[in-house]
Amino acid sequence: MTDSRDLNDLNAHLLVDPSWVEKHRRNPDIILLDARAKGYAAGHIPGAHWIDVKALKDNTSHTFAAVDALRAVLEKCGVSSGATIVVYDEGNSVLATRLFYVLEYYGLRDQVKLLNGGFAAWTAAGKEVSAEVPDAEEGTLALFAEPLLVVTKEDIQAGLKDSLLLDTRSALEYAGADLRSNRKGGHLPGAIHKEWKEALGAADTDGVVRFKDALTLKQEFADAGINPAKTIVPYCQSNQRGAHTYFVLRLIGYPDIRPYEGSWEEWGNDEDTEVTRL
C-alpha cells in the first residue's frame, strides 16, 4: 500500500480547479489556452485563447510540429518565457494533456497547469463565460526541444535500457482485433496495457469527469506493474492518449516518462516493425 512518504513526490501543482483559475486568471503572467476541438466561439473562459491541438503534430513525419511554428502560435497568445500556462479542454482532458506534453517537451516543464474537469467543470461551477476573443500583447518565448522526453521507432528497435512500454489504447486495439486504419494490428512486443481513460473517475451529477485522486492512481499503476524505477514509454495511435498518460504519470511523481511520439500510426504501418497479437 502507498504510505505517507509517497506524497512527497506528487506534483499537485500541475492540476488546478475552477476556483484557482477564477482567482488567478487576471494575472498578466498567467495565460489560458482553450484546447477544445469546438465550442470556443460560442463561449470560453474569459481571457482564454484557442489553440488548434492538431497543429501541434507534423503527421507527414510522425513527429512534432516545427518549433518555430509553435513559438509563433504561443507568442501570438501572449506567452512569454516565465509565464504560467493553464490549459483546458471539454473535460476528459485528452486534448489538454496533449498540449501539456508538447509544451513540456519544448522546455516549459512545470510552467503548465491543467484545469481538472475542463470547461465542463468551469460551467458546472457557475463561472463566467465569454464569447469575446481577447487581445494579447505578443510574447517573447524561447523554446528548446528536450530529447529525454520522447523516444523514436529507432530507439525502441535498438532496445531501451530499463524501460517499460505502456500501451494506452483500447483493449481491442491492443489485442489486434481493432486495426482502425492501420496495416497491422496488435501491440509493441512486451508492452503492458493500461487504457488512458482508466485514470478518470466517474462523471459527477453535473456530468463532469475529473482525474481520480493521486493515491488511487499511484496504487492502480503499481498494481498494473508500471514500475516508477523504469523509463516509462506510453504510446497510442497518435500520442494523444499516450500524452494523457504522460500527464497522469507526471502528476503522481513518476520521474522518467518518454512517450513514443510516432505511436501506432507509425509502428502499425511500417514494414520493418514487429507486432504482438493476442
User: How many other CB atoms are there within 10 angstroms of residue 181's CB atom?
Assistant: 8
pLDDT band of residue 2 (cuts 50, 70, 90) is very low
Least confident stretch, 2-16, 105-119, 209-223: 2-16
Please say if the pLDDT value at position 187 is more than 60. yes
The model's pLDDT over 215-235, given as tens digits with 9 standing for 90+, comes to 999 999 999 999 999 999 999
**pLDDT (mean) for 21-39:** 97
Q: What is the mean pLDDT of the chain?
A: 95
**CATH 3.40.250.10 occupies which residues in the chain?**
4-124, 147-267
Residue 48 burial (C-beta neighbours within 10 Å; 0-12, 13-18, 19+) = buried
Architecture of domain 147-267: 3-Layer(aba) Sandwich (3.40)
The whole model's pTM is what?
0.95
* pLDDT recorded at residue 190: 97
CATH number corresponding to 4-124: 3.40.250.10
> How large is the average pLDDT for residues 56-62?
89
Q: Mind listing the pLDDT tens digit for each residue in 71-93? A: 999 999 999 999 999 999 999 99
